[in-house]
Structure 1
Amino acid sequence: MMKRTTLTLSCFALAALAACSEPASDNRSEGTKQFESKPETVVAPITEADGIDAGLAIGDQVPLTASLQASGGKTSLGKLLENGPALLVFTRSVEWCPYCQTQLKSINAIVGDLKDRGYNLYGLSYDSPDQQDRFSKNQMLQYDMLSDQTSAVIDAFGLRDPQYTDGRAVGVPYASVFVIDKSGKIIAKSVSGDYKKRPSNDQILALVDSI
């Protein structure tokens, strides 16, 4: 029997580098900037105190038929899980959130480690497929991004961040990681209440290994 577990994390001390503020513009379709030219934004590892009880619970079934857009066209979580268990990273935006951009680039390094453990990695945001595609190609991501432009899947998981009621951030999820078995059952999760703090690669692998 697999051990169902939530992520227990230890505190790490990190020095913050030049934090980037979110643009005031409300235009989601604004072109992707040249990420390489920006100062790197440091994403602090999540701690136990940062975790919040939000979204679907361990043992719940994910919305298998909810529609998503991937690079190959329309898909669903059910179709993706036919290829094996998944680790799904919910993130705010590839366009305007530097913490998301940094996280999505960082997890590129553990695609092979997750595959060795039997999991396929996916990123999910409300950005358009074109925006995600530009970012993926620019950063040479080795995993698929999933577009949820209406935030329907974000809402089905119960992850919409309620603090945003107007502007471009309406519909973004809490920064979250969900581990899902092939049947669509959630077997581990981590949800951060602070978008500047996300699980490190080591923490993600420890979450998978703890199952």
Structure 2
Amino acid sequence: MLGSKAPALSVRDAAGQPTNLASVAGAKGLVLVFTRSAKWCLYCQNQLIGLKEAEAELGRRGFPIAAVSYDPPAVLAGFAKARAIPYPLLSDEGPKTIDAFGLRDPAYAPGHYAHGVPHPAILILARDGTVLAKDGYRTRPTNEAILEAVGRLGG
């Protein structure tokens, strides 16, 4: 995956409008966060809230944040409003984008409320969609680690 082109985003923003990489990327690229759920995953909620602290600096460096989950747009809009999330929360109800990135957690069968969730992951994408860095789901990187990775990539 590193060095290859990321799959196209097939997501909607919290208002329900289709969104693509170009509309959320910054001058140099994007920090794309895959998260399980803003509705029920406490770890994910805390991560999304915590990323607010790095959002302005990442944007200044040309790599803004966007987060993808399988949650419907209404859930994401409610969470963003309640927690004052300043960056885009993107809905992949399909989950076409989650599957295209190979991140779907296979532990949940159809009919389970978590069917379609991704393994948590953070990818740093170049403006053209090339995957520059990826952090797996076993540990969630700190804001400092994300900023350091972006710095190594020229941001």
Q: Which runs of 5 or more residues in structure 2 are unaligned?
A: none
Structure 1 gaps of 5+ residues are 1-56
Matching residue of 2:96:
152
- The aligned residue for residue 98 of structure 1 is 42
- What is the letter of the counterpart of residue 208 of structure 1? V
- Taking the aligned partners of 1:144 and 1:84, their CA distance within structure 2 comes to 17
Q: TM-score, normalised by structure 2?
A: 0.90
| TM-score (structure 1 length as normaliser) | 0.67
Partner-residue secondary structure (3-state), 2:99: helix
Q: Which amino acid aligns with 2:65?
A: L
Displacement of 1:157 in angstroms is 0.5
Counterpart selection for 2:119 from 167, 174, 191: 174
Shift of 1:200: 1.1
**Which deviations, in whole Å up to 9, do the C-alpha atoms of 1:77-131 show, x marking residues without a partner?**
2443476511000000001100000000000111111012111110110000000
Identity of matched residues, %: 36
The amino acid that maps onto 2:79 is F
Matched, 1:85 2:29: yes
Give the AA of the match of 1:141: I
* Structure with the largest fraction of helix: 2
Give the drift of 1:210: 2.4
Residues 210, 82 of structure 1: CA spacing in aligned structure 2 closer, same or farther, 3 A cutoff?
closer
Classify 1:83/1:127 alpha carbon distance in 2 versus 1 (closer, same or farther; 3 Å).
Answer: farther
CA contact (8 A) 2:69 2:91 kept: yes
Mark the structure with the bigger radius of gyration: 1
Aligned to 1:70: 13
